[in-house]
Chain A
Amino acid sequence: MSELKELSWEVQESVQPLPFEELERRGLRRRRRRRTLTGVGVVAAVTIAVAAALLPLGNVTGTEKPPVAGITKPIAVDQAAENLVAGQARLQGVIFASPTSWVATWDGSTGEKQSYAAVLSRNGVRTTTPVRDMWFSALKIGDDPVAVSGPKGDGDQKDPTWANALMVRLTAEGKVEKKLRWAAPTTTFAENETLIFEATHEHIPWILNPDEGTLRRLEIKGTGNFSPTVQDGTGRWWLTGDQGKASYVLWTDDRGRNWNKALVDPSDSAGAIGVSANGSTVVTFTLGVGGNGNSVRLKLSTDHGKTWTTSAPRERTWSRPPVPLNDGTVLLLEKGKLVRLTGEQVGTGPQDGELRGDDALLYTIVARGNDVSTAVALSTDLGKTWKTLEPR
């Protein structure tokens, strides 16, 4: 028997299964809830159908809102995507390009079938992507919400799953849907291009050219194990990565021609990076020995990366980077409290969730158990008040 089978065998021998009745109760409870929701859904669908027949919505059908001033093209409804996001899908991610412009990615996988879609909204105009069996990544280009579903295979030139790769962008003029194709890896990128981290299963930075409809790998010499890329208001791109055993904050002002770096830790990887809207405040954290992350250090700059400080080891109570603000302070969401690094409480927040945003808008997906997050909590007053939105 191989070592792998022996490992699997040893683990299964040590497992003590829960009583089946416990799982059965959970399954039956969900079945009852699903039947109730299905009934509610039928009533809602009938109501929408009646309203669509009676109200003057012009060329727009289904649940799409009519175009607002400036948008002339009617947007067709993708019913499969509408069904996915209206059903029991789980909210995977959300990005706000502005308080009235966002993209939300949904996982509607049921059983063995994987299916994903995204909803894009821009100043009251809403649309969806088509359904794909590869997840969507959310990003923003200016004020435009954008969703990208990359190739499901390895993303090399011969990968046949490029045929399903696409980008959907909601601009001031309307919806732009573009197939994506492979392009050769490079070390630099152009002004009209943007970096995207989760385009494929391989978590590396990719360069999206939204005009040509291409994705290509960004190569940074000697660097691997990347964090998601972040662009600040000055146009500078930031990320963390490993060079040998050491981890660094890396940034470029000239689209990859030159990279600056600051050591995060000589022997530990760095987590994701947070950058304030104006780029002045930058924060990342070490992941902790073995990735457990129970005792970590924060790396902080309050002068756009010129100088850095490293905190003493502290317990990590967050999973995304804390949110840096323009004034050099950093916010953490800890068990329902919004606090500065100093411990000073500035507001409240959801009990759990990964805080994102900036001075103008803080938001977090509201966690409800393991797999059923459907809402995002928003605050425009640094946590003094919150409202909830279901971005679908």
Chain B
Amino acid sequence: MADEDTVRELYEGCYRRLVGQLFAVCGNRGEAEDAVQEAFVKAVEKPRRFAQVDNPEAWLRTVALNVLRSRYRRATRFHGLLSRAVAAETTTTALSADRVALVEGLRQLPYEQREAIALHHIVDLPVREIASQLGVPEGTVKARLTRGRARLAPLVHEFADDAEGVNHV
């Protein structure tokens, strides 16, 4: 029971935060919630493995991102296109016009750039850790961040500064 109590405490403490972070990646609250819920279900399903995890919130985020990525790939294969394959849901999330524009801007990025931007600029993970979590070289993460920031510069003030020469990486 202790294991399930731990998961319950985490659920109460970080479920909303994880959904907010994943929303930036998929632009759809329902999909973000599904992915985070799936991560918690896996934690309940395999309590021993979960108990050995050093950073449970990071584990849950990584699992949820893997779920999102898997579904995203499925959607892109079926629809054939990247940025427009995932349905927008910004209208039901009651966001301001600026936020809707930002979500649209994020959705225009390739999935991997969105993922890197969210992990670095929302979760505050360093490049090395993102590279480790995603299993890609650090240079790849840096390139994805640079390209993503350049395309979001008109919508995000700190990226506009970046475009003028500030190095965030």
Binding site for B on A (CB under 8 A): 2-15, 17-18, 20, 23-24, 26-28, 30-31, 34, 90, 92-93, 107, 109, 111-112, 114, 133, 135, 152-154, 158-161, 198, 201-203, 225-228, 240, 269-273, 287, 290-293, 319-321, 354, 370-371
Contact = CB atoms under 8 A, between A and B. Distances in A.
Interface residues of B, number: 76
Interface string B74-86: 1111111111111
**Residue picked from A3, A152, A226, most chain B C-beta under 10 Å:** A3
B72 to A, nearest CB: 10
B102 interface: yes
A23 B49 CA distance: 18
B16 A272 contact: no
Contact of B156 (A2, A93, A112): A2
25 contacts: A2-B121, A4-B102, A4-B121, A4-B156, A5-B122, A8-B24, A11-B95, A15-B29, A24-B4, A27-B45, A28-B44, A31-B45, A111-B42, A111-B46, A111-B49, A112-B62, A112-B66, A152-B136, A201-B110, A202-B110, A240-B80, A290-B87, A293-B79, A320-B78, A354-B78
B41 A27 contact: yes
Contact of A291 (B44, B77, B86, B98): B86
A272 B79 contact: yes
Contact of A271 (B42, B46, B81, B86): B81
A2 B19 CA distance: 18
B70 A107 contact: yes
A319 B110 contact: no
A154 B79 contact: no
B97 to A, nearest CB: 13
A154 B146 CA distance: 13
A-B residue pairs, 3 tightest by C-beta: A27-B44, A272-B80, A12-B20
A222 to B, nearest CB: 17
A197 to B, nearest CB: 8
B103 interface: yes
Given A27-B43, A112-B133, 12 more contacts: A3-B158, A8-B24, A9-B20, A11-B93, A15-B15, A15-B16, A17-B16, A20-B11, A23-B11, A203-B82, A272-B79, A370-B34
A319 B81 CA distance: 12
Given A4-B121, A30-B45, A133-B135, A18 B37 contact: yes
B78 A8 contact: no
A23 B44 contact: yes
Given A107-B70, A293-B87, A8 B21 contact: yes
A14 B94 contact: yes
B84 A13 contact: no
